[in-house]
């Protein structure tokens, strides 16, 4: 390997960070190479073209921001704690990368990832609500409502952040509304 090349994961991470800052258009080879302190040759060592790098960055987003939180919450046996953990993770940091993903759906690879993320998240929520005792006819709409609240809160935070005041309190209130009270 060339001494000025980086591994593919560093390129992916740099591309994902650029995506978070400036959307899909910010995933550009020359500025990333400059930021990483390497030549474009390093890029071509690992990727065929910009589209391949974008696909790798989007796949990294899916692993880090979709699969990992769902896997972590899925390991929790108690469905109430599982939901609380997932909803807490969804509000633990500003959803800047998620918003950029939503804005980037004109790129087919981004659209496919956003669709997969929505399907996985809604299915997870649906299972958790069913595990809480909701019927399938109740669990599906509750899951869609929960995911809609997540997307809406993210968009509201971008478009009218002053309305949210304390985002953590808003997230906690949403969670209290979404998770049915225990029968204890």
pLDDT tens per residue across span 109-156: 999 999 999 999 999 999 999 999 999 999 999 999 999 998 998 898
Backbone angles phi and psi of 38, in degrees to 5: -130, 175
Q: In whole angstroms, give the CA distance from residue 48 to residue 55.
A: 11
Average pLDDT of the residues of the chain: 90
Q: In the prediction, which pLDDT does 184 show?
A: 56
pTM exceeds 0.85, yes or no? yes
High-pLDDT (> 70) share of the chain, %: 96
Q: Where are the domains of the chain?
A: 8-178
> pLDDT at residue 87 above 70?
yes
Binned at pLDDT 50, 70 and 90, residue 1 comes out as very low
- Report the CATH number of the 8-178 domain: 1.10.357.10
Contacts of 165 (CB under 8 A, 6+ apart): none
More confident position, 171 or 99: 99
Q: In the prediction, which pLDDT does 183 show?
A: 64
Residue 47 zone, left/alpha/beta (φ > 0; ψ -120 to 50; rest): beta
Q: What is the DSSP string of 55-94?
A: HHHHHHHIIIIIIHHHHHHHT-SSHHHHHHHHHHHHTSS-
């Amino acid at each position: 390997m060339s001494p000025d090349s980086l591994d593919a994961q560093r390129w992916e991470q740099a591309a994902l960070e650029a995506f978070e800052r400036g959307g899909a258009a910010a995933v550009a080879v020359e500025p990333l190479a400059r930021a990483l302190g390497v030549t474009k040759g390093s890029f071509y060592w690992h990727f065929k073209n910009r589209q391949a790098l974008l696909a790798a960055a989007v796949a990294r987003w899916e692993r880090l921001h979709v699969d990992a939180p769902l896997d972590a919450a899925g390991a929790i046996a108690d469905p109430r704690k599982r939901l609380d953990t997932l909803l807490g993770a969804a509000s633990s940091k500003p959803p800047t990368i998620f918003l950029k993903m939503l804005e980037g759906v004109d790129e087919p690879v981004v659209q496919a990832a956003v669709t997969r993320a929505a399907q996985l998240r809604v299915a997870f929520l649906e299972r958790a609500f069913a595990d809480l005792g909701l019927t399938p006819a109740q669990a599906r709409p509750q899951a869609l409502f929960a995911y809609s609240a997540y997307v809406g809160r993210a968009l509201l935070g971008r478009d009218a952040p002053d309305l949210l005041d304390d985002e953590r309190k808003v997230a906690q209130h949403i969670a209290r509304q979404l998770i049915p009270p225990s029968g204890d």
